[in-house]
Amino acid sequence: MSVVADLKNSRALLVNLTLREVRGKYKRTLLGQGWSLLNPVATLLIYSLVFGFVLRVPVPVGNPSGVALFPLYLACGLLPWTFFSNALTGGMNALLGNANLLRKVYFWRPTLVFSSTFSWNVTFGIELLVLIVAMLVVGAMPLPWIPLLVVAVVLLTVFVLGLGLLLSVANVYFRDTQHFVGIGMQLWFYATPIVYPYSLIQDQAARMRADGNDFPLEFLYRLNPMERFVSVFRAMLYDNTWPAWQDLAFCVAAAAISLVVGIAVFNRTQHRLVEEL
Amino acid sequence: MSATPAVEIDGVSKRFRLYRERNQSLKAALMRGGRASYDEYWALKDVSFEIAEGSTFALIGENGSGKSTLLKCIARILEPEKGSIRTHGSVAALLELGSGFHPELSGRENVFLNGSILGMSKRELERKFDEIVHFAGIEPFIDQPVKNYSSGMYMRLGFSVAINVDPEILLVDEVLAVGDAAFQDKCMEKFVEFREAGKTVVIVSHAMGSMRTLCDQAAWLDKGTLVEVGRADTIVDRYVDKEHGKDVGTGPATTGSSRIGSGEALLTDVAVLDRNGRPATRFRTGDPVTIRMGYECSERVERPAFALALDTVAGMRVWAHHTRDGGPDIPFIEGTGHIDLVVPHLALQPHTYDLSARILDHTLTHTYDFVRHCFRFVVETGDVRESGGVVALGGRWRADLSSLPSEAAV
């Protein structure tokens, strides 16, 4: 496939652009790269306070890890989500934000989306390491799952890359895209079991069945690829067990479809890209 | 000239959409059913030619002729709607210097970033890093963020990175005027080095003088169509002839001229006549011309003097002359009449010129009438072709070949 060849050819550029993103992100701030950790920690604290302390969301007990701490349960879902959300937004704006470059130099255009996403991978990697250490401190054992965790990160990256490619060109042709995506991401966040456990949805579905309502709530809920990704990450990090193979298969399929569609749309629409910037 | 051209341009047409109302919001798109209303504008119309390997090739034409669009098509930044462009060898484009620099990153980091955008590998960049920094002449500042650079430093670093990409085909758009004179010399040297290494350079520029000497081939574009391809010097000459005075307008001035004087005698008409005595606005270097000044007096004017001056459109005084220097001593003028200045050989190089005329008293201190820039005319390339400047001296080269070392003597 020519995409693989293109990717290989622009390897050096990809590395340099990614470094530019990573270095440029927190340049001139006092805390520098510290912000990449402080931001999620702050979010974690706020959500823990609101959903764990005020709203009293039930804290699932890790099986077999035995951990029952809401902030950690939250972190296992929030970190993959934050990566997804940042990478998607970054990828979406990658072409418009580099309009000047695109108008003046030819290079393989998807490189911009790739490098933006990969720069968030760096942040995500650091966050995951800190989370693993935190899990170890409270007595869980996520270490054996690290190889599979890497696979899950790769799958999530591929999934968000496809969407990023799609949205990056959409955003060039229709500038409304970014605003729609902003709203969509809020909806998507609450449609994914991050600040609450999936068991609450199961309870709701059971109540609806008892009332004779046969709305397929659980089926629809589980069509959300991010729900599957969060489940996979939680199984390994929080529960320290194998993720359900159906979830993993769903993630593989979602990533593959997303990438194929993303590349196809990008290739079909990119020929007038520079004029429309 | 080698058999395979470096760039083959085959029937290339490029269309731009000029949106009446841009369809950049989904609402607008939905309301029109996905069809935005736009006018088509063909920036290039069926352009075909080849650029030979190892040549220095100029793309010339006025603003909006499509030459930059064509350059961007060759660089693959834009895709033509019709036709194809094949390039043989690696291509690097110098369309804007320092594009892709990140202002917060240091010069060092930006060299690596910019270099890789232009297609250089990390190893190549490491090897050439010192040369790049040295060429730009910014060694002391290389670890400073580029946002603190002066615009000259910024451009020099950008140029230095780009020129060191070492492509087989280099595309250059109007960047020859970078930095101070010393740096420009360095750039010229690099271009010549490039040419001597057998590489192809394609240049878009309005600096016709340097294009004529720097390039060996040229293509002339006009409103998106190809006018002519061939030797750079002949094409540049023809282009310059055609373009001079086209937009500025020639003949008697309608605006922009200013008039002062006491008005006892007035200039009625100032014109330049060709060899047949007919008023004209286009002449060739070496043509015989007559400058005629018509006047009208409201009263008898004793011992007047007539004066003429010539400026380039850029405002440089080229020549001035008045009747008190070698002219007839005119006792008086009355009513209407005219006075001629006969020039046997127009010793001017191709340019657009403005004529100013004046009637004075014999002491040259009192002005009856002065009209600044009252007549504009164009000089085109004639039989006498000299390389640069404003005047054509008509000099001939002569070499005493016997005084030169002959091959046998060496």
Q: What is the mean pLDDT of each run of 10 residues along chain B (410 residues)?
A: 77 82 60 65 88 88 85 88 87 75 83 84 87 88 87 83 83 68 76 84 79 84 88 83 64 68 87 88 89 90 91 85 86 90 90 89 88 86 80 85 60
Asked if A29 contacts A38 with a C-beta cutoff of 8 angstroms, the reply is no
How many CB atoms lie under 10 A from the CB of residue A65?
A: 19
Alpha-carbon distance of B84 to B91, in angstroms, equals 16
Q: Is the ipTM beyond the 0.85 threshold?
A: no
Nearest to A159 by CA among A43, A57, A259: A259
- A193 exposure class (CB count in 10 Å sphere: 0-12, 13-18, 19+): buried
pLDDT score of B248? 57
B80 SS3 class: coil
Q: Which residues contact A255 (CB under 8 A, 6 or more apart)?
A: A155, A156, A158, A159, A162
Split at pLDDT 50, 70, 90, the class of A180 is: very high
For B227, the token pair is 């006018």
pLDDT of A79: 94
B119–A107: do the CB atoms touch at under 8 Å? yes
Encoded tokens for B337: 């009449």
> What is the Cα–Cα distance from A188 to A18, expressed in whole angstroms?
27
- Position B245 scores a pLDDT of 56
The answer to whether A156 touches A253, Cβ cutoff 8 Å, is: no
Measured in angstroms, the CA of B214 and the nearest CA of chain A are apart by 24
The residue behind tokens 């609402």 is B27
Output the pTM of the full model: 0.75
Of B17, B77, B104, the CB nearest to A274: B77
State the average pLDDT for chain A. Answer: 90
Cβ-Cβ contacts under 8 Å, A6 against chain B: none
The pLDDT tens digits of the residues spanning A56-81 come to 888 888 888 888 899 999 999 999 99
What pLDDT was estimated at residue B409?
47
Q: Which chain B residues contact residue A13 at CB under 8 A?
A: 116-117, 119
Q: What is residue A164's predicted lDDT score, i.e. its pLDDT?
A: 96
Q: A15 and B116: CB-CB below 8 Å?
A: yes
Strand ranges for B95-216 from DSSP E = 169-173, 200-204
CA distance A13 to chain B (A): 5
Residue A223: pLDDT band with limits 50, 70, 90 = very high
Longest Cα pair distance anywhere in chain A, in angstroms? 63
pLDDT at residue number B175: 59
pLDDT at B177 (0 to 100): 57
Q: What is the pLDDT of residue A239?
A: 92
Looking at CA atoms only, how far is residue A276 from chain B in angstroms?
9
User: At CA B70, angle to CA B67 and CA B71, rounded to 5?
Assistant: 90
- Helical (H) or strand (E) element with A272: none
Does residue A101 register a pLDDT over 90?
no
Whether the Cβ atoms of residue A132 and residue A144 lie closer than 8 Å to each other:
no
Report the alpha-carbon distance of residue B324 to residue B326 in Å, rounded: 6
Tell me which amino acid residue B52 is.
A
More confident residue, A94 or B38: A94
Percent of chain A with pLDDT over 70: 99
Contacts of A104 in chain B (CB under 8 A): 77, 93, 95-96, 99-100
pLDDT above 50: residue A113: yes
In the prediction, which pLDDT does A151 show?
Answer: 96
Q: What is the pLDDT of residue A83?
A: 95
Side-chain-facing half-sphere of A272: CA atoms under 13 Å: 11
Q: pLDDT at position A269, please? A: 86
